[in-house]
Structure 1
């Protein structure tokens, strides 16, 4: 068993040299995850004359971009109703349409740039395995039909044909999701950025970001006309943004490669990603080498937005994920698990992602994806490129552009509130298993999360 992400096995780390002296560039991007790399890619596509430098504290793809569950989805953490209340119904529809288009755009770039990352758009199936979950699935369908999200309802037989989990009563299915090997996607985009003339400096932690300059921990100063913060969960560690994002951990396990006979009893023949309609978020995929990768929330938020290597592990959560899989798929009894890992994702106080740029200061930012970032980072990168260069299309007018979430509460209120929300989600699922009805605690969860 290894605690390194499965996705890192065989990764060809370029070992890009750090910044060792002062440097001047047109654009400095802090963070070499997908937000930073897509931003660099589209900036260089838009204006090849730009000098673009991406700096990374560890290595390319070290954060959530290189350790997530591998969903390129049109999911968005803010409901269209919330967006419509502030921006109008048309703007809400445009935001969700842009997300669906972003899934296709990732696939287009992967094909055009010949990035080998196992991209396969098989959609996502979300099971209903209790009567309460089936109620929620039907509510999801009505909601999706109103907003044109493309979701359909599957009956028991149709759902089981896609994914034969125990207790399946039905499911929702949405075609706008692809499976991907995320670290290979990161490394592939990074290689294209360098081919286009961009520079990536690893092992270059940043001490502060300000208008016109980025100061590194080691001392060198980067002078830049434009500075983009693309640090997601690690934004909480930077001066000036410590309460902008709450880093909350998500953990994942991976099985050994399964046999054809085992997969015949599980499903996912079309390479669908999968989840179910419980309150505690879970997510899974069938990898290109026939492993089952399964992750979920449930790990605690750490006081004062703590991010440490030891937080990547939580034996209790790992055991819960494995137990859940055995309950869903009895054929997995006795199967070996080869990898288990975790990492923080970034959650803004109102659960609304944002991307923005101030031409007066030259400062830009993007993030707060709440775990739905693989496609959103692509949309963020295209938006950053438009805002910086001034060559704007309709995506620069979307509701999330220039959105700034309010700050999280100071400690210990932040620690109490976030962990209370995690516990309420767990208790809500337990309530539904006992009563068979939608949990009354769901309203408490909505109040605590604020969305």
Structure 2
């Protein structure tokens, strides 16, 4: 199988403008959020023998929220968190900084999978977002949290109907261009209050600081090697020589290798790519008529997400979701020129008034996608270990909900969260290679075809019936 078998699927938005390809040449291959002197130095690795009521494995959003919520819910609880790399190094510090109320990867996905309980899922998602905002304010986390809402836009005629023109909140072409000025917009839907934008790295660093202030012991550059059940609880060993005894464990490694086979087969790694422009001038920003508190996404299967950052750059990501054969995760996949060219050209088509602007940062992040597009949950070791994985994007907000679910599962008492079918149900696993690669490539090709034609082919209809899919 070739190293880059997915290249033939790369395509440009039909309205792509003729900007010089290479406007990202000379850009830093580094997440914008991590390119700052404010990044904290790594905490000390774990050594020796440690004892804890709860061990959290993973220092991304899921792990950080779990550690913080554990001591908020039970003050005085002894919690240790270990992170194999650095806080915010991977998906947590490489996303677009969109924090949404949805815990089901959007309304349509939630309604199609759990129609009977979707109203409850929607309510829980809004409460979860409220909880994130309250946490940011209570601990004084300086992450630029701005709850301006979400704007979904249609750039192809067949996408307009999906925005429900008959319902309140629909914007025709003139109205949507008054919110964000792009000649490609045919319609839009604005939902205030259901989403926020923020600096994800600063949120992670703030959550880590808040957890430490409440007594959580955090150790970076400490990789889990083995996890076993002992008569007194759980025993974890690490590559730093530490042995950690804990009554309970939460595994929040997401796309990285889980100690549980079932969780590993339920997800595949997908690479998502992002560009960030140089800071906009006053004139450039005025030409967009864009409230920076509003995040934007377009409506295709291959969609872009974009926003204005606190320092007045445009962050522009998405479109290509790249799966590498064999579930490969490697630094070699981080810099994919073909995808950055697609992003650059599609940006040029969307905002021709910014012609000539250059990108200063380019980066990618590997995320965990599940066949149902949102998180899955489980326990093992006779209920002493809980895990959540498979967020498929939108994990900035949903990770806090997942933390409470896992703590509920460890407590062993039914709650409104653990009674949800979404929590109890497991998605179908992805098959082994080469079936996984073939199925994913066929799905990507079919989704691109639907974006171009508005017609869902037989393959996608079969996947819908089986409750399967591929997304980022």
What TM-score comes out, normalization by structure 1 length?
Answer: 0.89
Deviation at 1:213, TM superposition (A): 2.3
Name the CA distance, whole Å, in 1 between partners of 2:362 and 2:424: 37
The aligned residue for residue 223 of structure 2 is 205
Q: How does 1:158-307 map to 2 (within 5 A)?
A: 158-175=175-192, 176-211=194-229, 212-235=234-257, 241-269=263-291, 271-307=293-329
Q: How does 1:343-422 map to 2 (within 5 A)?
A: 343-357=365-379, 360-389=382-411, 393-422=415-444
Q: Residue 263 of structure 1: SS of its match in structure 2?
A: helix
Would the aligned equivalents of 1:214 and 1:227 in 2 still touch at CA under 8 Å?
Answer: no
The aligned residue for residue 347 of structure 2 is 325
- Structure with greater proportional helix content: 1
Name the CA distance, whole Å, in 1 between partners of 2:456 and 2:415: 44
Q: Report whether the alignment pairs 1:315 with 2:357.
A: no
Residue 145 of structure 2, aligned match among 111, 119, 143: 119
5+ residue gaps, structure 2, are 1-26
Name the CA distance, whole Å, in 1 between partners of 2:377 and 2:196: 23
Cα distance change, pair 217–71 in 1 and its aligned pair in 2 (3 A): same
Q: Report whether the alignment pairs 1:440 with 2:456.
A: yes
Deviation at 1:200, TM superposition (A): 1.1
The aligned residue for residue 425 of structure 1 is 447
Deviation at 1:157, TM superposition (A): 1.9
Q: Residue 355 of structure 1: SS of its match in structure 2?
A: strand
Give CA-to-partner distance per residue, 1:64-114, whole Å, 9 cap, x none. Answer: 1111011101232372334436xxx1x221112211222222111101110
5+ residue gaps, structure 1, are 146-150, 433-437
Deviation at 1:33, TM superposition (A): 0.4
Deviation at 1:408, TM superposition (A): 1.4
Between 1:31-40 and 1:343-352, the stretch displaced more is 343-352
Q: Residue 228 of structure 1: SS of its match in structure 2?
A: strand
Cα distance change, pair 337–245 in 1 and its aligned pair in 2 (3 A): same
Q: Report whether the alignment pairs 1:35 with 2:50.
A: no
Residue 24 of structure 1, aligned match among 36, 51, 60: 51
Name the CA distance, whole Å, in 2 between partners of 1:253 and 1:237: 34
Deviation at 1:239, TM superposition (A): 5.7
Cα distance change, pair 320–354 in 1 and its aligned pair in 2 (3 A): same
Name the CA distance, whole Å, in 2 between partners of 1:21 and 1:303: 39
Cα distance change, pair 16–238 in 1 and its aligned pair in 2 (3 A): farther
Between 1:328-337 and 1:234-243, the stretch displaced more is 234-243
Cα distance change, pair 237–27 in 1 and its aligned pair in 2 (3 A): closer
Q: Residue 307 of structure 1: SS of its match in structure 2?
A: coil
Name the CA distance, whole Å, in 2 between partners of 1:97 and 1:159: 27
The aligned residue for residue 69 of structure 1 is 96
Cα distance change, pair 270–338 in 1 and its aligned pair in 2 (3 A): closer
Name the CA distance, whole Å, in 2 between partners of 1:221 and 1:412: 38
Name the CA distance, whole Å, in 2 between partners of 1:402 and 1:205: 29
Name the CA distance, whole Å, in 1 between partners of 2:415 and 2:219: 31
Would the aligned equivalents of 2:306 and 2:317 in 1 still touch at CA under 8 Å?
Answer: yes
Give CA-to-partner distance per residue, 1:197-245, whole Å, 9 cap, x none. Answer: 0011111112233441223234433221111111111146876643221
Instruction: Give aligned pairs, total.
Output: 431
The aligned residue for residue 18 of structure 2 is none
Name the CA distance, whole Å, in 1 between partners of 2:461 and 2:293: 32
Residue 341 of structure 1, aligned match among 351, 363, 367: 363
What TM-score comes out, normalization by structure 2 length?
Answer: 0.86
